[in-house]
Amino acid sequence: MKQRHFDLLAIAGVFVAYSITIRFALQADVRGSLLGGVANTIPVVIFGAMVRRIILRRLIGKPAALQLLAHLPLCVAFSALSYGLLMVLLGLLFDGRGFSGFLVKPFSISGTAWQSLENVTTYALIAAMTYLQAQYRRHNMVPSAPAEAALVPEQLALAGNLGMRAAPDYAAVPVTPALEEPPKEPDDSRANADLSRYFVRIGDELRPIDLDSVVSIGGADDYAEVRTLSGKHLVRMTLAEFTKSLDPAKYARVHRSWIVNVHRIARAEPAGGGRLLLHMETGQVISTSRTGARLLRDRVI
More confident residue, 152 or 219: 219
Residue 292 CB contacts under 8 Å (≥ 6 apart), including other chains: 252, 253, 254, 255, 258, 275, 276
- Whether the per-residue pLDDT at 262 is higher than 50: the answer is yes
Element (H, E) at 276: strand 275-280
* Domain 150-297: CATH architecture, name and number where available: Beta Barrel (2.40)
List the one residue out of 209, 219, 294, 212 whose CA is nearest residue 251.
Answer: 212
Strands of 232-235's sheet in order across: 232-235, 223-228, 214-220, 258-261, 251-255
pLDDT in tens, 16-35: 999 998 888 888 889 889 99
Supply the pLDDT for residue 235.
78
Where residue 82 falls among pLDDT bands split at 50, 70, 90? very high
What are the residue ranges spanned by the domains of the chain?
A: 3-137, 150-297
State how far the Cα of 232 lies from the Cα of 148, in Å rounded to an integer. Answer: 8
